Structure formats: structure tokens, C-alpha cells
Chains A and B, each alone.
Chain A
Amino acid sequence: MSADFTDPVWMYVGGAYLLAALGFGALGVVIIGRLTRWARAARMDTESS
């Protein structure tokens, strides 16, 4: 293990990784939610017609 977790610069490093993780998570939820909504609407449309 090479990391020195006692260095105060970890506040910045941790912040960068946390923001990246939250950003990817939020973008994934929004896009997959959008896909689920429209795929369901298309399926219901096909079934009703």
C-alpha cells in the first residue's frame, strides 16, 4: 500500500473522488430512469394499438 492517509491533502483528493462518484451516479440514475420511462410508454403504445 502506497497511500499516506495522514496527509491533509486527502480532503481535496477525497472530495474529487466523491464528486466524481456522485456525478456518475446521478447521471446514471437520470438516464436509466429516462430510458425506463420511455421504453414503458413505447411498450404500452404498441400493446394498445
Chain B
Amino acid sequence: MIQAFANPARFLSFSAWAWPFAGVAALILFAIGAPWALVFSPGDYQQGESVRIMYVHVPAAWWALGIYAFMGGASFVSLIWRHALADVAARAAAPIGAFYAGLCLVTGSLWGAPTWGTWWVWDARLTSMLILFLTYLGYLALHAAIDDEERAGRLAAVLCLAGLINLPIVHYSVEWWSTLHQGASLLRDGGAAIHPSMLGPLLTMAGAYAAAFAALLLANMRADVFRRRVEAARLRRARAS
């Protein structure tokens, strides 16, 4: 399976149709999910209209964690099997994950202002999410700082694997420490504690974020595969002349 997808030529022919397909799926899911979340879903009995921020905030948080886990898997494959495409995948996912983590922080702040009366508190959930965002930026900065692409990939993969320790901290922070941030509503013992009228738009928006990630990841990976080919060809020509 890994071998099949690790072939750049096979990846290019698969991703040629897969990235626009995922992009169209994302647009359709956003076109359904956004009006459902903004207009047709009910307000909350305590939070009122501000609960609608949940539909852009929570999927961003889920996928910021999910993308980092994906990068961890790709980094592991890159380090152990030295597949160049695994490093390409981790590198291509990083700016999207950084955007999702940043969006989670900003929309969380916009939600916190009317509900908590503050834009920011240094509680465990918010702080660990900020650390995740900074880890994404550190990964991107490390990759960009080293000219030797293979060495950059190896060091960034080690940093990515070390950063995996933060994922359970983000997830369980609301249980391990006393936080202003509420506990889990969906992924918790005893089942989901959210009404179906809110669960529908939430899962639709989460699907839209996932499809958008798939489309942007595949497009960014294709760009990187083309870039490496062009640069390798230029290097060969320079050596030959």
C-alpha cells in the first residue's frame, strides 16, 4: 500500500483527478454546512447566537490535531523508509495544519469574548493549542531554514515526532486540569452530549474542512513533486554543461 502511493508518477496520475474532486466536495459541503450553521440551526439556550461560532471553531480544532497526527505518520515513514513522498506529504500538510490551528485560536477568541468576557486566558486547553500552532510554525521554519532538502526533511521529521506528545495534552487538557474551556461534547465517555439539530451542521462543516484539507494537501504535494523534478533537471543540466 505504502509502496503503491510512494511512487511519484503513480501519485501524480492519482492526484490529477483526486484534488479537484476533493475541492468540489469541499465546496458542496461548505455550501450546505455554512447556511445550515449560520441560519437554520437553533441558537443555544445559554449562549444564544454565539454558539454558531462552534461550527467554524470545532472542526478547525479537530483537524488541526488530525493533520498533525497525519504529519507524524508521514514523518515516521519518511525517517524509517526514507520515502521522499512521505516528506513531501508532511511538508505539504504543515501550512494547512498551521492555518487550521490559527483559525481555531482566532475563532475561539471571538467566541470567548461574548461568552467568557475575555479574549484569552492562559488555561491548559488554550495554551496547549497555542503550542500546537507554534510547533507547526517551527516545523515550517526549520524546513525553510536548511538548504539541503534531505537533511531538512529528516530534522523536521524528528521535530514533528517530538511534537506528537502535545496531541494527547491538547485533547485531555480539559480533563487533567481545571480549565475555563468546556469539556468534550462529542468524543467522550457516555456518547455525544449535543442535540442532533446541532450535530448535523457540525459534522457537515467537519466534512467540509476534511475535504478542503484533502484538496489543498494533494494540490500542494503535486506542486512540490513538480518543483523537485524541475530543480533536479536544472541541476543535471548545470552539471552537464
Contacts and interface: CB of A to CB of B under 8 A. Distances in A.
Nearest to A10: B49
Q: Please report whether the interface of chain B is mostly helix, strand, loop or mixed according to DSSP.
A: helix
Interface in A1-33: 1-4, 7, 9-10, 12-13, 15-17, 19-20, 23-24, 27-28, 31-32
A2 B43 contact: yes
Q: Please report whether the interface of chain A is mostly helix, strand, loop or mixed according to DSSP.
A: helix
Interface residues of A, number: 29
B226 interface: yes
Interface in B100-123: 102-103, 106-107, 110-111, 113-114
Interface string B199-240: 000000000000010001001101110110110011000000
A34 B223 contact: yes
Interface residues of B, number: 39
B229 A2 contact: no
Interface of A: 1-4, 7, 9-10, 12-13, 15-17, 19-20, 23-24, 27-28, 31-32, 34-35, 37-39, 41-42, 45, 49
